[in-house]
Amino acid sequence: MVSYPSSRAVSGKALIARKSDVVSIVRTALSVGGVLILLSGGALSFDRLATAQIVVAPPMFLLDYLQSVTDPAFGTRFTRVTDPGHSLGAGIFCRLAYCRHRYSSEAAWNADQSLLSISNGCNGFCFLDGQTYKPRFYRNVSDDCKWHPTNPALMICVTRNEIYTWKPRTNAKSIVYAPRNYTNLQFGPYKGNPSDDGNRLVVRATNSKGAMVAFAYDIAERKKHPDIKLAILDGTNGYCGISPSGRLIVCFQTLNNGTEVTYIFTVDGTQIQHWTEHHRPGHGDMTTDADGSDVYVGISKSNPDKWHVIKRRLKDGVVTDLAPAGYATHASIRNIRRPSWVFLTYEGTHSKVVENPGWAPFYQEVIALRIDGSGEIRRIAQTRNVKTDYYSEAQASPSPDGSQVIWSSNWGKAGGPVADYVSRLSWPATPQKQSVRRR
């Protein structure tokens, strides 16, 4: 990846490659079997994996803060929304190394998309306007807090000693559960989400005997469900989470040899599945499928579908192969109001993809993939990102309706500042499928 200078050096304008340069890139792309599609406006049309080809990223200057441009390859509009190392106003200041959203499978937007949260590099939570991305306010809160899926005013938070709801705008806090016989409460930790109705979550904790357990908790009913004894499972627990319907608990364990296995339980602690294959899948997200089943979509690291994007049904472990081997690193379905699509982040380089014929033809790219196995895709953004550590990963995460996608990039400069960008895309005017609610 070539590094390009900031547009600050050229009169504050974000400059795309000259037309002659783009033509040269198109010819280069065609010579290696790729196709570069340039659009003057709108978004790239829906495509299929079977016909998708490599798209070489044309040179593009680093955008200024809050500057918007149209992606020259895919026609989607995107905006740089953070400015590492600089004050964003409203008492918001981000560290120089990175200023970005939390993670791919964690919601960055609240339920009505009026607020966008930035937590990595903000020393707390920096809240931006969810549509214009202008800074709104800052909260010095270090607890593990996640947006309520249906109430735009609320976040659900977990500390070592309690579960509480929090209204970031007013900074009002309401304690939900503060047990005396459990300590070290954690929301997952880190990767857990509430159920799609916002009522149920899974907490990992230490019980009165000093043993690690996990349990589901209902916020509205103030009801704790039975403990799952994590110590009796194989390996060391990574995290546990509730399924979107709220009916199942998923726990990820790491064995001594590094194998990552998965256990599935009902909320009363009855084990119904044990997936013994390594990371099959992982680095993904959960949603409800068309038939109402809870599924996990992510990247497999085991045969027979190693490095493929797969969907796995929680109740019986049935696998659906969604995309061929490739450099997909993260999968997100925080688009809970359009759950029939998964948003995938691809890392890698052009040369690596070219060296692997038959692999998914994406590198440093964000795509949306329909999870019905049809191979239907939408190509959204070329991140121009060079992965060097955790915070430099792009980790794309969509908004609840899938109309916006946030992703991170150091813009081709290894070790350089990592900023956040938001791409916008439109969808056909058809009714959105709603996730199945817990019964």
Residue-wise pLDDT for 39-91, tens only, equals 333 454 689 999 999 999 999 999 999 999 999 999 999 999 999 999 888 78
Q: Helices marked H in 358-413 — which ranges?
A: none
Higher pLDDT, 414 or 1: 414
Do 261 and 214 touch, CB atoms closer than 8 A? no
Take residue 165 and report the two structure tokens written for it: 């709801």
Query: Residue range 153-179: average pLDDT?
Result: 98
**What percent of the chain lies above the pLDDT cut of 70?**
87
Work out how many domains the chain is built from and give that number. Answer: 1
Query: Residue range 180-200: average pLDDT?
Result: 95
Tell me the C-alpha to C-alpha distance, in Å, between residue 225 and each of 149, 166, 202, 231.
21, 23, 9, 18
Is 318 a residue whose pLDDT tops 90?
yes
326 domain residue, yes or no: yes
Q: In the 3-class helix/strand/coil scheme, how is 27-86 assigned residue by residue?
A: HHHHHCCCCCCCCCCCCCCCEEHHHCCCCCCCCECECCCCCEEECCCCCCEEEECCCCCC
Is 356 a residue whose pLDDT tops 60?
yes
Residue appearing with tokens 């680095």: 283
Q: Does residue 155 sit in helix, strand or coil?
A: strand
Tell me the C-alpha to C-alpha distance, in Å, between residue 107 and each of 27, 51, 333, 383.
39, 31, 9, 20
How does residue 10 score in pLDDT terms, banded at 50, 70 and 90? very low
Higher pLDDT, 80 or 3: 80
Residue appearing with tokens 């790239």: 44
Query: Residue range 155-182: average pLDDT?
Result: 98
Q: Provide the β-strand partners of residue 382.
A: 365
Q: Does residue 24 sit in helix, strand or coil?
A: helix
Query: By residue range, what is the domain housing residue 194?
Result: 7-424
Please state, rounded to an integer, the average pLDDT across all residues of the chain: 89
385 domain residue, yes or no: yes
Q: Does residue 299 sit in helix, strand or coil?
A: strand
Instruction: Check residue 194 and give its pLDDT.
Output: 98
123 domain residue, yes or no: yes
Instruction: Check residue 92 and give its pLDDT.
Output: 87
Query: Residue range 324-333: average pLDDT?
Result: 98
Query: Residue range 11-21: average pLDDT?
Result: 32
Using CA atoms, how far apart are residues 396 and 188, in angstroms rounded to an integer?
A: 20
How does residue 244 score in pLDDT terms, banded at 50, 70 and 90? very high
Is 34 a residue whose pLDDT tops 60?
no
Is 3 a residue whose pLDDT tops 80?
no
Instruction: Check residue 43 and give its pLDDT.
Output: 52
How does residue 429 score in pLDDT terms, banded at 50, 70 and 90? confident
265 domain residue, yes or no: yes
115 domain residue, yes or no: yes
Residue-wise pLDDT for 142-157, tens only, equals 999 999 999 999 999 9
Do 416 and 100 touch, CB atoms closer than 8 A? no
Phi-psi region of 246 (alpha: psi -120 to 50; beta: other; left: phi over 0): left
| Closest by CA position to 193, among listed 236, 240, 152, 159 | 240
Is 24 a residue whose pLDDT tops 70?
no
434 domain residue, yes or no: no
Using CA atoms, how far apart are residues 167 and 165, in angstroms rounded to an integer?
A: 7
Instruction: Check residue 228 and give its pLDDT.
Output: 98
Q: Strand 376-382 to strand 309-313: parallel, antiparallel, or no bridges (unpaired)?
A: unpaired
For the domain that residue 305 is a member of, what is the CATH number?
Answer: 2.130.10.10
Is 432 a residue whose pLDDT tops 70?
no
How does residue 11 score in pLDDT terms, banded at 50, 70 and 90? very low
Residue appearing with tokens 């949603």: 287
How does residue 158 score in pLDDT terms, banded at 50, 70 and 90? very high
Q: In 286-296, which positions are buried (b, 16+ CB within 10 angstroms) versus exposed (e)?
A: bbbbeeebbbb
Residue-wise pLDDT for 382-414, tens only, equals 999 999 999 999 999 999 999 999 999 999 999
Take residue 242 and report the two structure tokens written for it: 């509730």
432 domain residue, yes or no: no
What pTM was estimated for this model as a whole?
A: 0.89
The C-alpha angle 302, 303, 308, rounded to 5 degrees, equals: 75
Tell me the C-alpha to C-alpha distance, in Å, between residue 125 and each of 173, 193, 421.
15, 18, 17
Query: Residue range 109-124: average pLDDT?
Result: 96
